[in-house]
Amino acid sequence: MIPFVGKFAEKKRQQMTLKLVLDMATFGAIQLLGVLVRTMSWRFSRRVASLFGDFAHRVVGLRRELVYANIGLTFPEKSPAEIRTIATKVYRNVAITLFDILRFPLIRNRDDVASLIDLDPELYWRVTDNGRLGAVVVSAHYGNWELMALTCGLMVKPVTIIVKQLSNETIDRSMNKLRTMQGNSVVYDHQAIRVGLRLLADGGILALLADQSDPSATNFGEFLGRRATVFHGAAFFALKAQVPLFVVMCRSSSDGKYKIDLNQIETADLTFCKEDIATLASRYTRVIEEYICRWPEEWFWLHNRWKNGGDG
């Protein structure tokens, strides 16, 4: 029995060492890519990113079958050629988002971010009494969601973002450093309730993404026509703290910049109870679905959104 335990421990140690090496190699590659990207102009970096996206799509085939299946099941009326066209744009947009994130150190003020993205915060100021009232912001892995958060922090007020900790701790720390370099803050999801409610009571903005699968979720519904987990967290915070809730989406515009849309979700007819939390979650989920259906190339189809829905 003891030799078996020793072999198991040795195998576990080797696996941990291999993971550490791979994590450090991945981090080093991303750091090097960031140095190179920051030597390029913004427009040139986007062209290079598109080539990276094409390489990941057509040569590497990164999650290609999953992406095609996800798009095809969501849009059964589309031909294989149309699905491939959407997928091409998806991979390019994901690569562009990565390159834009790596350029965050070059964004130092409101003028820098205003040259990349358009945002009219008038609705936010009006609904929150010029920022004196807290607000919950719901979004998705759509467009450039990381740049959107940075923009809101610079052009509106600092945002506290609920995040999940990455398995690669080095990259996790690096990502959080980029996210918070212009005044925003992050809180891990397991700490979010206490921190989030206090923040909202003090008039802060709490932001979270509500479009990915959650293996620990107990709430289910339909997402793009298929059974999936449904995130109730944003609804919980908004109704518990009695603050407005916005769906904020970032998408590409025809001039090459991004555009941020603010959509206020009705909460006046709801109270803090299980049924109304589900109702509010359904309302903001529908808005996210509308954006995905209208501009499908902007969404992160590389994730298996429906894997925990119970339909197999």
Rounded to whole angstroms, the Cα distance separating 231 from 53 reads 29
Q: pTM of the entire structure?
A: 0.91
Nearest to 215 by CA among 303, 278, 110: 303
CA dihedral 142, 308, 275, 73 (to 10 degrees): 60
pLDDT, tens only, 108-146 = 999 999 999 999 999 999 999 999 999 999 999 999 999
Q: Which pLDDT tens digit goes with each residue over 178-234?
A: 999 999 999 999 999 999 999 999 999 999 999 988 777 788 999 999 999 999 999
> pLDDT tens, 25-48?
988 999 999 999 999 999 999 999
How far apart (Å, rounded) are the C-alpha atoms in residues 253 and 258? Answer: 5
Q: d(Cα 224, Cα 140) in Å, to the nearest integer? A: 14
Round to whole Å and give the CA distance between 195 and 181.
20
Inform me whether the pLDDT recorded for 3 exceeds 90: no
* Neighbour-count burial for 143-169, b at 16+ CB within 10 Å, e otherwise: bbbbbbbbbbbbebbebbbbbeeeebe
Going through 114-244 in order, the beta strands assigned E by DSSP cover 117-118, 135-139, 159-163, 185-188, 205-209, 220-223, 226-229
